[in-house]
Amino acid sequence: MIVTVTPNTALDVTYTVDELRPGAVHRAREVRHRAGGKGVNVARVLHALGVDVRAVVTAGGATGTAVAADLAAAGLAADVVPIAGETRRTTTILGSGGATLLNEPGPELGSAEWTALAAAVARSRPEVLVCSGSLPPGAPADAYGRLLASCPSGSGPPATWLSILDTSGPALLTGLAGKPTVVKPNIEELREVTGLEDPVAAATELRRAGAGAVVVSLGAEGLLAVTPAGTWQATPSTALTGNSTGAGDAVVAALALGLSRREPWPELLRRAVALSGAAVLGPLAGDVDLAHYHRERELVAVRAQPERES
């Protein structure tokens, strides 16, 4: 089973407007609410593909109740860890110019609440563990590193544990202590934590620091993967416009599925680029256009990059 953990769960609120104009009054054509947070979005994508997945989330207050109800209505298997604080809300405004996001920081987690979250992850015994999104206030600075280092997958030895870390900043750097199988920063996040402009050199630094492989989101240019088996760049067949807010989460979903099936990297990257494009065409984060996904998997170009001297 693939298990996603979202310590900083949210209720996503999406407003659709004709055009976003700063300082102006807008009338929304549509308003939609759903459970969110990066790990929840990953779980939604996997659920749409018919994959066995479980989401571990936090929920508190009336907003948390709405999150739990939405997960149940969507048919997503979930372990909901109660917290004292009110679950945060994130706001996305979709207009002709793209998506504008407003993300609240989230409620503070006490030590007992974090322990309960970690226990729920351990009970799930994932084959692949996905740690996604920001850490809430009050979480240990090395929270993801602890989860990745202590959560066994299935009944096998530690060498068989598979994991993906998708976060940024200090949470990414401290999470490397947990030896994630894959980390998935975007190009800006990668530059931020390494200070290096060259993405291959920067990804190599993260591998030296503990990551097994690094998959970098390059936006419209696709994905770069620096792995023990080699370096590849995967490029979509065409540029797409739409809602890009869930594209990175779709990449993580594809990586988790590919890892669980032990797919070779070129095939795994084709799946990830195709599913990312399918998410751009979806109306909300966590939605995917499955017809596009199945077509695009045959069209994604994957090129091996030359080896570099260390």
- Which residue numbers are catalytic? 249
Q: At what angle do helices 187-194 and 199-208 cross, to 10 degrees?
A: 60
Characterize 243-260 residue by residue with b for buried, 16 or more Cβ atoms within 10 angstroms of its Cβ, and e for exposed: bbbbbbbbbbbbbbbbbb
Classify residue 234 as exposed, middle or buried by CB count within 10 Å of its CB (0-12, 13-18, 19+): buried
Tell me the C-alpha distance between 280 and 115, whole Å: 35
How far does the chain reach from its first CA to its final CA, in angstroms?
36
94 contacts 14 by C-beta, under 8 angstroms: yes
106 contacts 136 by C-beta, under 8 angstroms: yes
Give the rounded distance of the alpha carbon of 185 from its chain centre: 9
The strand pair at 88-95 and 10-16 is best described as: parallel
Tell me the C-alpha distance between 68 and 51, whole Å: 20
**Which segments of the chain does DSSP mark as H helices, in order?**
38-48, 61-73, 111-124, 143-150, 169-175, 187-194, 199-208, 247-260, 265-280, 290-296
The residues facing 128 across adjacent strands are 2, 162
CA dihedral for 38, 39, 40, 45, sign (positive or negative): positive
